[in-house]
Structure 1
Amino acid sequence: MNANREADERELKALDAAFLNAILQHDIATLEQDLPDDFLSVFPDGRVANKAVELENAKTVELESFSTDELQVCWYGDSVAILNFRLSLTFKGQKTKQVRDSHVYLKRNGHWQMILGQTTPIF
Structure 2
Amino acid sequence: MGIEYFEPGEDGLARAIITGLASRTEHAAMEERARQDIRSGRLQGIIIDASRAELPAKPSFSREIWDDFLGVLEARPFAYVPPRGHDGAERQAMIAELVGDWESHYCAVASEADGRAWCLASLAALRNA
TM-score bucket (shorter structure): under 0.3
TM-score by length of 2: 0.24
Q: Which has the higher strand share?
A: 1
Q: Larger Cα Rg: Structure 1 or Structure 2?
A: 1
TM-score by length of 1: 0.25
